[in-house]
A and B are shown apart, each in its own frame.
Chain A
Amino acid sequence: MPEKSLLTDDLRAAIGGYFLRYPTKQATLLPALHAVQEKLGFVPPEAVEEIAALLDLQPAEVQDALSFYGFFKQDRPLGKYRMWVCRSISCEARDEEDLLQYLQEKLGIEPGQTTPDGRFTLETAECLGACDYAPAILVNDVLHEEMTRAKIDGLLDALE
């Protein structure tokens, strides 16, 4: 184990809890990556090595799977609020582009970037499965429905 472990005892225990659910340790990889990203805000290369050791895998096997899923970030922690703006068909048909443009202006960042104060990460999403509420934006665990510029103003004010 490296001197200063990134995976805290809590994290290790949480990942260990998943071992009981699957017949192989490798199958706990996605739950483990989610747990680590949730806790650290990202999955840096050092964490990849530690996860690999914990799951009896090669770091390359973890990196191979991780890099397939655009969901996990490796260079720097995500913002406190990760904002997913849906750009698929139903949202696009209801003027998502204007919302994305507005958010870019207000936050001063492009999709994929995080504000310098670490509060917001802006992302474009494929269909969020909320087309009945288009245009939709998912912020962490909360879906924001039928969004407008005014609603974005209110949302950004409310998220401190």
Chain B
Amino acid sequence: MAPDRGVTVAQYEPVLSANFHKPDGHTLAVYQAGGGYDTLRKTLKEKSPKEIVELVRASNLRGRGGAGFPTGLKWSFLPENHPGPIYLCVNADESEPGTFVNRVQMERDPHQVLEGIILSGYATRAGTAYIYLRYEYPLCFKRLQQAIDEAYAAGYLGKNILGSGYSLDVYIHRGAAAYVCGEETGLIESIEGRRAWPRIKPPFPAVEGLFRKPTVVNNVETLSCVKHIVERGVDWFKSLGTPADPNDPRDPGSYGPKLYGLSGHVSRPGCYEAPLGLTARELIDEFGGGVWGGRKPKAVVPGGLSTGVMSADELDTPLDFSAPMKVDCLGLGTGCAVVLDETYSMVDFLLGSCRFFAHESCGQCTPCREGTHWALQMVRRIKAGHGRLTDLDLLLEIADNIGILPGTTICGLADGAAWPIKNAIRKFRGEFEDYIRRTNAGGWMVTEPVPALEADSGQWTVGSCQ
């Protein structure tokens, strides 16, 4: 493992990453030496599940998996007095391009993750938790399994945990390299042993989820936050981050700590903890040591590829749950930023993005399946020097019409596919037009339909949709 690359924000004591740099921080012995599982011990004695749900609700904790849904509210949708079983699914699929902070957590502090899982399982009265872990995280698998084994042996898992009468089993369920498994109902289908086709909602998982039983799906980092809310209290949690907008009664604010990821063209890529609301510029300059090679930034993906891009003059945007939308990004996403420097081509950015989403679309919804593929075909043609200016408008038309927000698809993958297209073309239109004019001197102004290119071969083919 590479050496410590993190630095600390002044006046802020990291909690989520506090153990990341301890030698053998992934073992039970080190975790316990730092007070690990004390909160669990105390809470099982002193607090009822309802009281924890109430705490989490009062904290306004919002899910760290991408959508920012209030966790306490989600938990309160579980039917009351349900005879069970109730399931907890821990979303550790982390496949959003540019995102890696769940990995760092599970590799370096798996017991913190587990303690959050046990407390959340207790609060939601779940008897079984499945950790849906992407297959490409072999070290996480090893460390988590070791942590689970240690926790069983120490009485933190299994029957009658610490004499409380509460029982919980935790199993790791390994994925198989499909991005859509991270969507919560795709994840449920995948655990059930089928193709990971997201379900039409409602019913929501809290009512009818895994094995048709009430189910809570939460991200790894969300559940770790629960541990710290129970331990340090609601006031502490709400002292961090961006407060709710007093003029918007529906804004729950952006409270608490966040593990930010930083990669791409920066001097010091890494996972950095700060209160929610750090700006992209602070993340890049104060934590990341600036853009590499003294270059200037051209664009920054704020929180995973799905969230789109910010241009260089939007970097003072706070990375919290509402500010990125004010610069037309999809949202905070995963809080993992990717920096692209001034030499990087936005045509390449768009091509990579379109390729990814076309590859990962599960194919159930026509607008997503067809839209992502046609977008990819057009961008390939543009890249190959056969672009027309009207293609940019066609691409925008696709992007504006696929997704949950326009209301044409089952899941949010299509919104994720749409945002990079919208942002790249609307914010960098000049660059795209220049490219098209330069590489297609004879055809950039053509407006009648043109055939598609055979994938990657540069050959013309009529009507193929591959």
Q: Select the stretch in B57-65, B132-140, B244-252, B389-397 that faces chain A.
A: B132-140
Is residue B179 within 8 Å, beta carbon to beta carbon, of the partner chain? yes
Contact of B193 with A28 in the complex, beta carbons under 8 Å:
yes
Contact of A129 with B269 in the complex, beta carbons under 8 Å:
no
Chain B residues near A128 (CB-CB < 8 A): 136
What's the nearest-Cβ distance from chain A to residue B172, in Å?
10
Q: Select the stretch in A5-13, A99-107, A137-145 that faces chain B.
A: A137-145
Chain A residues near B211 (CB-CB < 8 A): 23-24, 27
Nearest B-chain residue to A130, judged by Cβ: B100
Choose among A30, A88, A130 the residue that contacts B103 (Cβ–Cβ < 8 A): A130
Q: A27-B191, A92-B352 are in contact. Are A143 and B139 (CB under 8 A)?
A: yes
Q: Select the stretch in B257-265, B321-329, B434-442 that faces chain A.
A: B257-265
Contact of A125 with B338 in the complex, beta carbons under 8 Å:
no
Contact of A126 with B360 in the complex, beta carbons under 8 Å:
yes
Is residue B12 within 8 Å, beta carbon to beta carbon, of the partner chain? no
Q: Among residues 1 to 27 in chain A, which have CB atoms less than 8 Å away from a CB atom of chain B?
A: 21-24, 26-27
Contact of A26 with B97 in the complex, beta carbons under 8 Å:
no
Chain B residues touching A, range: 35 or more
Q: Mark B439-451, 1 if CB is under 8 A from A, else 0.
A: 0000000000000
Contact of B178 with A68 in the complex, beta carbons under 8 Å:
yes
CA separation between A126 and B348, bound complex, in Å?
A: 16
Contact of B261 with A132 in the complex, beta carbons under 8 Å:
yes
Nearest A-chain residue to B195, judged by Cβ: A68
Contact of A30 with B269 in the complex, beta carbons under 8 Å:
no
Contact of B98 with A27 in the complex, beta carbons under 8 Å:
no
Q: Mark B98-120, 1 if CB is under 8 A from A, else 0.
A: 11101110000000000000000
Contact of A29 with B95 in the complex, beta carbons under 8 Å:
no
CA separation between A30 and B301, bound complex, in Å?
A: 33
Chain A residues near B134 (CB-CB < 8 A): 129
Q: How many A-B residue pairs have CB under 8 A?
A: 147
Choose among B136, B137, B196 the residue that contacts A125 (Cβ–Cβ < 8 A): B136
Choose among A64, A125, A127 the residue that contacts B96 (Cβ–Cβ < 8 A): A127
Choose among B94, B138, B175 the residue that contacts A30 (Cβ–Cβ < 8 A): B175
Is residue A133 within 8 Å, beta carbon to beta carbon, of the partner chain? yes
Contact of A132 with B135 in the complex, beta carbons under 8 Å:
no
Chain A residues near B269 (CB-CB < 8 A): 90, 131-134
Is residue B305 within 8 Å, beta carbon to beta carbon, of the partner chain? yes
Is residue A84 within 8 Å, beta carbon to beta carbon, of the partner chain? yes
Contact of A69 with B2 in the complex, beta carbons under 8 Å:
no
Contact of A30 with B173 in the complex, beta carbons under 8 Å:
yes
Total interface residues in chain A, CB < 8 Å: 45
What's the nearest-Cβ distance from chain A to residue B118, in Å?
17
CA separation between A61 and B134, bound complex, in Å?
A: 22
CA separation between A131 and B193, bound complex, in Å?
A: 30
CA separation between A55 and B194, bound complex, in Å?
A: 13
Nearest B-chain residue to A34, judged by Cβ: B174
CA separation between A126 and B100, bound complex, in Å?
A: 13
Is residue B241 within 8 Å, beta carbon to beta carbon, of the partner chain? no
Contact of B135 with A71 in the complex, beta carbons under 8 Å:
yes
Q: A27-B192, A132-B271 are in contact. Are A90 and B98 (CB under 8 A)?
A: yes
Q: Mark B178-192, 1 if CB is under 8 A from A, else 0.
A: 110000000000111
What's the nearest-Cβ distance from chain B to residue A113, in Å?
16
Q: Mark B124-160, 1 if CB is under 8 A from A, else 0.
A: 0000000000111111000000000000000000000
Is residue B336 within 8 Å, beta carbon to beta carbon, of the partner chain? yes
Nearest A-chain residue to B132, judged by Cβ: A30
Is residue A65 within 8 Å, beta carbon to beta carbon, of the partner chain? yes
Is residue B344 within 8 Å, beta carbon to beta carbon, of the partner chain? yes
What's the nearest-Cβ distance from chain A to residue B145, in Å?
13
Is residue A81 within 8 Å, beta carbon to beta carbon, of the partner chain? no
Contact of A133 with B2 in the complex, beta carbons under 8 Å:
yes
Chain B residues near A30 (CB-CB < 8 A): 173-176, 190-191, 193
Nearest A-chain residue to B305, judged by Cβ: A89
Q: Mark B325-361, 1 if CB is under 8 A from A, else 0.
A: 0000000000010101000100011001100100110
Chain A residues near B136 (CB-CB < 8 A): 84, 125, 128-129, 138
Chain B residues near A145 (CB-CB < 8 A): 2
Contact of B176 with A132 in the complex, beta carbons under 8 Å:
no
Q: A125-B136, A127-B96, A132-B270 are in contact. Are A70 and B177 (CB under 8 A)?
A: yes
Instruction: Rank and list the top 6 A-B pairs by shortest CB-CB distance, nearest first.
Output: A29-B193, A68-B195, A131-B263, A69-B176, A26-B193, A71-B176
Query: 19 more A-B contacts (CB under 8 A) besides A23-B85, A88-B305, A141-B139?
Result: A27-B191, A30-B175, A30-B193, A33-B176, A70-B178, A87-B352, A88-B356, A89-B98, A89-B349, A90-B338, A94-B265, A125-B136, A126-B359, A131-B98, A131-B264, A131-B338, A132-B100, A138-B136, A138-B138
